[in-house]
Amino acid sequence: MSQSSCLLFGYARVSTQDQNLDLQLDDLTKAGCQRVFQEKVSSAKARPQLQKMLDILREGDTVIVWKLDRLGRSLKELFTLVDDFQRKGIGFRSLNDAIDRHNYRTGPASFQSVCLSGRVRTRHDSGANQSRLSSCSCQGPGGWPSQGRAFPSKLKPRRELSKPCMA
Asked if residue 158 and residue 116 are part of one domain, the reply reads no
Catalytic residues, by residue number, are 15
Q: How many domains does the chain have?
A: 2
| pLDDT tens-place string over residues 7-31 | 999 999 999 999 999 999 999 999 9
For residue 146, the model assigns a pLDDT of 53
Q: Are 25 and 36 in contact (CB under 8 A)?
A: yes
The H or E element containing residue 14 is strand 8-14
What is the span of the domain harbouring residue 93?
3-132
Asked if residue 144 and residue 76 are part of one domain, the reply reads no
| pLDDT tens-place string over residues 71-99 | 887 888 888 998 999 999 999 999 998 77
For residue 155, the model assigns a pLDDT of 52
For residue 93, the model assigns a pLDDT of 92
